[in-house]
Amino acid sequence: MDIYTIIFLALAVFIFLRLRSVLGQRTGNERPPFDHTAARNALGGAQDKNVVTMPGKVIDQAPLAPTAEPTAPSDRWKGLTEPGTALAQGLDAIVEKDSTFDPRHFISGARGAYEMIVLAFANGDRRALRDLLSSEVYESFDAAIKERERNEQKTETRFVSIDKAELVGAEMRDRTAQLTIRFVSQMISATRDKAGNIVDGSADTVADITDIWTFARDTTSRDPNWKLVGTGSAN
């Protein structure tokens, strides 16, 4: 055995003894191992009751106690119409074909659509109208816009308020759901000629307007959007 081998062996023994003195001895001050079961019990339960599945939905494995009585059919359309009315029966028929239908959500969306359509018509925005109207209604609106353009007229419309959007009709026609809403609004509207003179309406008078519009949607279609299929006015 040569001198270098003896030196390496001595170094190995020395390093082993140093490591043992640092890592292999207990001093009595070590922290006990973390007890996951004890910690879970301290937080109020010996076992997890929930399973978390992607993407983050919590599924309770234990049966849930009922929190409220199921909504009675007679209360389904409370605030919208009375039980047994034609409107209630129409809403029932629509829900039977489309279980995701929510008339309150629809009314909220219809308010926005009403304002968009009125302003798009006033501005001659055919692109916006095409997405919101049925082909028949679009043709009627487009004809009125063309008449203004031929006469070199422009319409200025401004909403003051939409005071009411009330559901007044609902029915299923084959696979198509139809809903009719009465809108009560206040707006300022004036049509001017090429010289800027007002030929219809008023630039400073607030008018009370009541429109009755019908929207429709094919319940078998993946397209969730409703389109305007009929217009009327109570003024």
Q: How many domains does the chain have?
A: 1
Say whether pLDDT at 4 is over 60: no
| Ramachandran region, residue 124 (left: φ > 0; alpha: ψ -120 to 50; beta: rest) | left
Residue 44 lies in a domain: no
For residue 30, give the DSSP letter. Answer: P
Residue 154 lies in a domain: yes
Angle at 118 between CA 113 and CA 123, to 5 degrees: 120
Domain encompassing residue 210:
83-234
Residue 227 lies in a domain: yes
Determine phi and psi for 139, rounding to 5 degrees. -60, -40
User: How far is residue 207's CA from residue 201's CA, in Å, rounded to a whole number?
Assistant: 9
The CATH number covering residue 205 comes to 3.10.450.240
pLDDT, tens digit, for every residue of 161-178? 999 999 999 999 999 999
User: How far is residue 225's CA from residue 56's CA, in Å, rounded to a whole number?
Assistant: 29
CA distances from 185 to 152, 158, 162 (A): 28, 11, 4
Assessment of whether the complete model's pTM goes beyond 0.75:
no
Residue 71 lies in a domain: no
Residue 109 lies in a domain: yes
List, in sequence order, every residue forming a beta bridge with 161; answer none if it has no partner: 186
Among the ranges 30-44, 69-83, 95-109, which has the highest mean pLDDT value? 95-109
Token readout for 91 is 């809403």
Among the ranges 35-44, 139-148, 218-227, which has the highest mean pLDDT value? 139-148
Amino acid symbol at 109 = G
Beta strands 207-218 and 57-60, pairing class = unpaired
Determine phi and psi for 39, rounding to 5 degrees. -65, -40
* % residues pLDDT > 70 (the chain): 68
Say whether pLDDT at 91 is over 90: yes
pLDDT for 233: 80
pLDDT for 10: 61
User: How far is residue 128's CA from residue 119's CA, in Å, rounded to a whole number?
Assistant: 10
User: How far is residue 161's CA from residue 187's CA, in Å, rounded to a whole number?
Assistant: 7
Residue 46 lies in a domain: no
* Residue scoring higher pLDDT (205 or 11): 205
Say whether pLDDT at 15 is over 60: no
Residue 64 lies in a domain: no
Say whether pLDDT at 35 is over 90: no
pLDDT, tens digit, for every residue of 144-203? 999 999 999 999 999 999 999 999 999 999 999 999 999 999 999 999 999 999 999 999
Say whether pLDDT at 231 is over 70: yes
Residue 3 lies in a domain: no
pLDDT for 84: 92
